[in-house]
Amino acid sequence: MGISWVLLIAAVLVFAQHRFYTRRGFARLRIERAFNKSRCHVGDEVVMVETIANHKLAPIPWLRLESTLHAGLYFAKQANLEVSSGAISQNHRSLFSLMPYTKIVRRHQIHCTKRGWYKLETVAVSIGDLIGIQAAGMTQRLNLELLVYPQLERWEDIPLPSSRWQGDITVKRWIMQDPFVSSGVREYRYGDTMNSIHWKATARSQRLQVYNREFTADPRLLLVVNTQITESMWDAVTDPELVERGLSYAATLADHAVSQGIPVGFGYNGSVQDEPGVPVFIAPEGGLPHLDAMFETMAKLTVSCCRTCQDFLDDWIIHDGMAMDILLLTSFVSASMEMSIRQLEAMGHSVFIVPLQISLVDHIEQEVETSDAAI
């Protein structure tokens, strides 16, 4: 047999096997990815389980999986895993070779370094033939989701406003009026309800008098994170890490309050990813399911500002008729915010400021803006 016939037969075989892998390479091939848990906090580790199964007689010489993940999910290096990172995203590539009726299960350790709502919706799959040439490619849909909650800080690291918060149970200060217990009367104040008026005392003094309610240890707590770094800031946040710190403080305080049996709520003048432009307000409730719902909302928040803090306080809190303790986590308090806070206190709410330390650059810019306004 001449060399030409050998080359011809070899070419036919190469073409035939390449054609086979092009048409049938993905037949009875199963690719799955899953996280060992769908929710965690910043700093935790999760495992991404990758399963590739070849349920046919023909081997797969090589198979490559490629996907793009957020840089907030840090992959530990492995032998046949390539990770190229950018500022926002990273490309994750892994290479396999499967014999007939073989299943490979690999576990990738992932360190969650940033709060967020991470979605892994697709993975690009490529297979090659016996001589190493790529034969086919496809996109596999996964619909994988991971929620990373804010990091829980140490209780001692949170700059609580005063020594009144210290003690065995710091929330002893969080109190609300009991409508069934009264001690004397007082003059009417803005926000008092009609059913609290003491008509006999009003007739005697010729001025509106209301029952002076005692207090009960049945508190309601509202945590409000202000995304405005300066009063003039709008939309894009100039110091995202400061907002992330505020969310970490809020998550820690919420976790502590729920553990003490205290109803807790959450406010945020930014928005969640799937509802842009809509501020967040979660009414105070108790229990672990409510805490999980708040953590889930916090994971989905965008670092943005869609409402000034003053407008948020006016629109979402002042109309709530039940007294509560409000913790405002903010980097500044403007004159307009002070006015809203005074209105809240006049209605029976207690307002405490938890300061968020502003960065040096933003502090200088704020001082320049103040100087320009004065000039």
> Which domains, and CATH codes, for the chain?
26-149 (2.60.40.1530), 155-175+218-374 (3.40.50), 177-216 (no CATH)
Give every CB contact of residue 94 below 8 A, 6+ residues apart in sequence: 50, 64, 65, 80, 81, 82, 106
- What phi, psi does 182 have (nearest 5°)? -130, 155
pLDDT at residue 214 above 70? no
Report d(CA 333, CA 337) in Å as an integer.
Answer: 6
Q: What average pLDDT is seen over the chain?
A: 81
Q: Please compute the mean of the pLDDT values over residues 246-257 and round it to a whole number.
A: 94
pLDDT at residue 161 above 90? no
Report d(CA 179, CA 310) in Å as an integer.
Answer: 30
Cα 371 to Cα 22, 364, 368, 374: the distances in Å are 69, 11, 5, 5
Integer-rounded Cα Rg, in Å, for the chain is 30
- What phi, psi does 227 have (nearest 5°)? -85, -10
CB atoms < 10 A from the CB of 162, how many? 9
Q: Please compute the mean of the pLDDT values over residues 137-155 and round it to a whole number.
A: 91
pLDDT at 203: 84
Report d(CA 336, CA 362) in Å as an integer.
Answer: 20
DSSP code string of 278-320: --EEEEEE-SHHHHHHHHHHHHTB-SEESS-HHHHHHHHTTT-
More confident residue, 114 or 235: 114
Q: Please compute the mean of the pLDDT values over residues 172-181 and round it to a whole number.
A: 43
| Model confidence pLDDT, tens digit, residues 282-323 | 989 989 999 999 999 999 999 988 888 988 988 766 665 677
pLDDT at 85: 56
Q: Please compute the mean of the pLDDT values over residues 192-203 and round it to a whole number.
A: 77
Which residue bears the tokens 């999910």? 73
Q: Please compute the mean of the pLDDT values over residues 193-217 and round it to a whole number.
A: 73
| Model confidence pLDDT, tens digit, residues 51-77 | 999 999 999 999 999 888 888 888 876
State the pLDDT confidence band at 82, using cuts at 50, 70 and 90.
Answer: low
pLDDT at 375: 45
Q: Which residues pair with 74 in a beta bridge?
A: 111
pLDDT at residue 156 above 60? yes
Residues 53 and 30 sit within 8 Å (Cβ to Cβ): yes
pLDDT at 255: 93
Tokens (6 digits) for 192: 């008092």
